[in-house]
Copies of this chain bind each other. A is one copy, B any other.
């Protein structure tokens, strides 16, 4: 539907201006102070318009366990997650709706869902997420999480024990599922994209990576993985390859300008140069990195080296929210403690650019999305600047990024379709969703998981923790 936003504040270089914006056929058709109303007239008075942000890494179904997993580092956290996470297709559907809703209500119009697949129901899981995201209308980048090694392989052995247990599904079968999903669901024009998404070096063979590269090349798919989230993974890469994980991924040809890599906490300076050279994108998940004690990703170094960086919430069990503005705030200010020279710090305007254009760049669509430019898709978010959390009036982007907004998203559009209006989702009955989430869960305080308990002694040993 066509529309014209009138008298809305938008950022211009080092300042703001009040202007009008025409949206025609899902694209920004004009931005100027004097414009005729085309289609619906929308009042932008006392509102700020920005390009929609990207929630560039999450796992939607983790919503079912948020707030519950113990205070553990990734490796033990994952073991507990597996113990407590029996999924069904209906749950996948509801948590995708919830993830979309929270993303939209915190400034995001695109989500990269590194989707956990139900064993034996892989295509159904993907179909379900596709259905949920299409219903809500958020732009979806579904990255089915695949691996071909079992969980125990993800920990460094410390040289002391065999690491291999066979995985229940072969590499070839896994790749066949992804290819089938691409053929059924990959439709960028319709707002649904499938990515190849081997979970990371810790649980994938080179055969799986190579198969994903082939699919990516054949179908023009983006690539998405975890990379060096923890110190344990850094150790593991050395055990597995005798070099850094980044050097290995470059060697096998996985890194590219359509490759986005979640976390990137434990990289060397040389690794950083490789990311810059290959035009790979770092997805920074600051809340998750803190919650799991993974460390601080060297984001200021990435920016200085010219590496594209954007933000993700990560799954809601390691965050434990899907508030993109929170990820942007913490992902900006966290790095001030890593460099005494404040001239290198991320400004609120830079943060906004990373969240919007940086996200689009990581998915190789910066020519179509990520900024307020004529010709780009109308993935837009309008913030109500009369919200208490955005008052008194000072610098609107400063308030948005450094403050803690609640209910500040007034409207959101994806490809010109209004998904949020007056703070409410237009495509989803949130009360019904809440009832479903409520009914399928219970308040509880689970004890330690058997799996985490089982692998804890080994973890403590290889990570040099006292007993």
Residues of A within 8 A of B (CB): 9, 14-16, 63-68, 71-73, 76, 98, 101-102, 231, 287, 289-296, 316, 319-321, 323, 326, 330, 333-334, 336-337, 339-342, 345-348, 385-386, 388-404, 406-407, 430, 433-434, 437-438, 440-446, 463, 465-466
When the two chains form their complex, are residues A341 and B394 in contact, meaning their CB atoms are under 8 A apart?
A: no
A388 contact from B346, B401, B433, Cβ within 8 A: B433
Known: A67-B402, A345-B71, A388-B98. Is A336-B290 also a contact (CB below 8 A)? yes
Q: How far is the CA of A91 from the CA of B294 in the complex (A)?
A: 43
Q: Which of B67, B340, B347, B394 contacts A443 (CB 8 A)?
A: B394
- What are 30 residue pairs bridging A and B, where the CB atoms are less than 8 Å apart in the complex? A16-B443, A16-B445, A66-B398, A67-B397, A71-B342, A73-B342, A76-B342, A98-B391, A101-B388, A102-B388, A102-B389, A289-B337, A290-B334, A290-B336, A291-B333, A291-B336, A291-B402, A293-B336, A320-B398, A320-B399, A320-B403, A321-B389, A326-B326, A341-B466, A391-B441, A393-B443, A393-B444, A394-B441, A395-B444, A406-B407
Beyond the given pairs A66-B398, A386-B434, A406-B406, 5 more chain A to chain B contacts, judged by CB atoms under 8 angstroms and listed by A's residue number, are: A66-B392, A73-B342, A102-B389, A391-B437, A395-B444
The 10 A-B pairs at the shortest CB distance, nearest first, are namely A67-B399, A293-B336, A67-B398, A321-B404, A392-B441, A68-B394, A393-B441, A323-B404, A320-B402, A391-B437
Within the oligomer, what is the number of copies of this chain? 2
| Bound CA span A227–B389, Å | 29
With most chain B CB atoms within 10 A of its CB, the pick from A294, A337, A390, A438 is: A337
User: Are B342 and A395 interface neighbours, CB within 8 A?
Assistant: no
Partner of A333 from the list B102, B290, B347, B398 (CB cut-off 8 Å) is B290
Task: Give CA–CA (A293, B433) in the complex, Å.
Answer: 40
Are A392's CB and B440's CB within 8 A?
Answer: yes
In the docked arrangement, what's the CA distance between A4 and B200, Å? 54
Contact between B290 and A347 (Cβ–Cβ < 8 Å)?
no
Residue contact A66 to B402, C-beta cutoff 8 Å: yes
Collect the chain B residues with CB atoms within 8 Å of residue A346's CB: 71
A443 contact set on B, CB distance < 8 A: 9, 16, 385, 393-396
Chain B residue with the shortest CB-CB distance to A73: B342
Whether A402 touches B319, Cβ cut-off 8 Å, given contacts A65-B394, A394-B441, A430-B388, is yes
Q: Which residues from B are CB-within-8-Å of A71?
A: 336, 342, 345-347
A465 touches B341 (CB 8 A): yes
Residues of B within 8 A of A319 (CB): 402-404
Nearest B residue to A339, CB-CB: B293
Chain B residue numbers with a CB within 8 Å of A321 are 389, 402-404
List B contacts of A391 (CB < 8 A). Answer: 98, 434, 437-438, 441
CA distance A90 to B35 in the complex (A): 41
Q: How far is the CA of A398 from the CA of B442 in the complex (A)?
A: 13
Q: Which of A347, A385, A438 has the most CB of B within 10 A?
A: A438
